[in-house]
Amino acid sequence: MSTDLRDFRRAKKTVDVSVGESVRIIRELQELSQTALAELTGIPQSTISAIENDRVNLGVERAKVIARALKVHPAVLVFPGWDVRRESAA
């Protein structure tokens, strides 16, 4: 039985993820505690907690430092809901 991919509907996004949640999710996927991430980045654990709970803005410089520690591109943290195929940066 041959199935054409055009017969499938694309899954709809059902959950919006905040910047802080994206940091937490990626950190947890890498099995790092907030304390371990704080040690890797030099950012206090309390600040990491505040970022993950969206009480403090991530900011460009912190995004770079955290992204480097998590081995991801900073855009993954800063723009968690960005759909590259549909949205233009301009």
Kindly report, residue by residue over 16-57, the tens digit of the pLDDT: 889 999 999 999 999 999 999 999 999 999 999 999 999 999
Query: How many CB atoms are closer than 10 A to CB 57?
Result: 12
Cα Dmax for the chain: 56
Phi-psi region of 66 (alpha: psi -120 to 50; beta: other; left: phi over 0): alpha
Between 8 and 2, name the one with better pLDDT: 8
pLDDT tens per residue, range 68-80: 999 999 998 988 7
Walk me through the domains of the chain, giving residue ranges and CATH numbers.
19-78 (1.10.260.40)
pTM over cut 0.85? no
pLDDT of residue 16: 80
